[in-house]
Amino acid sequence: MNRHSETVIIAPMTTKGQPYPSRVPSTFQGKRGQIVLDQMRTVDRARLVKWVGKLTGPQSVAVRAVVGAMFAE
């Protein structure tokens, strides 16, 4: 979806906080934290300053599962 639009969906990462069901444990650039899926937002692509990386396969699967559960009936 993000490849074909002028906006992208992002989820912040935190190194603090509680392990809520809407957060996925993650390690990025040597830092352990959580992907905060309850704070996803859409931003204009022009606001993105630099590319920092992307999720690994297992992290991507976990994020998709949590997002699916968040929006399920």
In the predicted structure, residue 69 carries a pLDDT above the cut 90: yes
Rounded Cα distance, 8 and 43, in Å: 6
What pLDDT score does 52 carry? 85
Question: What value, to the nearest 5°, has the Cα angle with vertex 39 and ends 60 and 27?
Answer: 40
Q: Please check whether residue 42 is in contact with residue 30, taking contact to mean a CB–CB distance below 8 angstroms.
A: no
Q: Which domains does the chain have, with CATH numbers?
A: 2-71 (2.30.30.110)
What pLDDT score does 13 carry? 93
- pLDDT tens string 29-61: 889 999 999 999 999 999 989 888 888 889 999
What pLDDT score does 68 carry? 94
2-19 average pLDDT score: 87
